[in-house]
Structure 1
Amino acid sequence: MTEDTGFRIKGWHVLAGFVGAFGIIIGVNLVLAFQAVRTFPGLEVKNSYVASQHFDDDRAAQEALGWTVQADARNGMVYLSITDTAGEPVRARDLHAVVGRATHVKEDVEPEFLFDGRVYSAPVHLGDGNWNIRMTAVAQDGTPFRQRVVLHVE
């Protein structure tokens, strides 16, 4: 024999369960979508098709420069070393860099790098973790150079 406790699942119980479960799922999805859109850094190029038409030529010109870029951060300074195929320091005609996290733009800074004859340096205080340096430079012959340099700070 079973004892009747008097509790029975009714239609509104099932409805409340479904509404509650789907409400949580939809709420979490909305929060995640809002965060993704809010932290998106933006467009890299205005028209990706037009940019793709020049990609191979731009890449070949950049590779012909033979530049190697290395980054380091210590004692509140960020150092960019650009060398040619012979290992000699390179002084670009123009250099611009944005230092920031890979995941958001909230901490992005645009330091002014100064060339000392060997390396570029700028005062930037970075917290621990992974940082990106999105660098654009122009060679003395006018060739554009773009590179993203990953910098790990401990």
Structure 2
Amino acid sequence: MSSQNAPRRKPFTGKHMFLILLTGFGVVFGVNFLMAGLATSTFGGVVVENSYVASQHFNRWLDEAAKEKALDWKVAVSRREDGHIVALLDGVPRYPDVIAEARHPLGRKPDMALKFEKDVTGAYVSDKALPEGRWILRFEIEADGKTWRGEDQVEGLEVIGQPVP
């Protein structure tokens, strides 16, 4: 075959290179902006307000956690059909003050403060109904001058976590 019969190719120019780079970087930037948008729409990113101040209290928090664990207090939570939370306490002295803060894991719903009162069955029932959805309950129980803090998750009518044996 002679070189005269071969098809002629157009020369590769700077315009072609510019379009290739523009397309490549456009895809990269597009994916990055999409991922950043998805990440910020699902998690606010605040674990502590000030990490330096939190680091100064870290050892004290560890000591408090060890003391709370030594108390061996346990809470088993369930959710009634009407949305109220029922807390069964184990190992807790008589007449405790039981409160909890309900936090939505993704921060889409506002936090709720719950106060618990003892009912006729001996269980502690929340003063407010918790809306449907997944919630993290951060309990604080005070009795006999001691404080215990714990956390449990509630999803729908189900409770995620370990029940009290």
Q: Same fold (TM over 0.5)?
A: yes
Q: What is the Cα deviation at residue 90 of structure 1?
A: 6.7
What percent identity do the matched residue pairs reach?
A: 17
- Most deviating of 49-58 and 27-36: 27-36
Equivalences, count:
147
Whether the 8 Å contact between 1:41 and 1:105 is mirrored in structure 2 is no
Superposition pairs for residues 9-28 of structure 1, below 5 Å?
Answer: 9-28=12-31
Number of the residue aligned with 1:54? 60
User: What are the Cα deviations for residues 57-113 of structure 1, in whole angstroms up to 9, with x where unaligned?
Assistant: 21122113322222323424142424123xx7975425131231x3x1012440534
Superposition pairs for residues 63-82 of structure 1, below 5 Å?
Answer: 63-82=69-88
Partner amino acid for 2:116? L
Partner amino acid for 2:109? E
With the length of structure 2 as denominator, give the TM-score of the two structures: 0.68
Unpaired stretches in structure 2, ≥5 consecutive residues: 158-165
Provide the aligned C-alpha RMSD in A.
3.0
With the length of structure 1 as denominator, give the TM-score of the two structures: 0.72
Is 1:149 the counterpart of 2:152? The answer is yes
Number of the residue aligned with 1:42? 46
Distance 2:124 2:115 in 1: 9
Partner amino acid for 2:152? V
Unpaired stretches in structure 1, ≥5 consecutive residues: none
Whether the 8 Å contact between 2:99 and 2:116 is mirrored in structure 1 is no
Which has more radius of gyration? Answer: 2
Number of the residue aligned with 1:98? 102
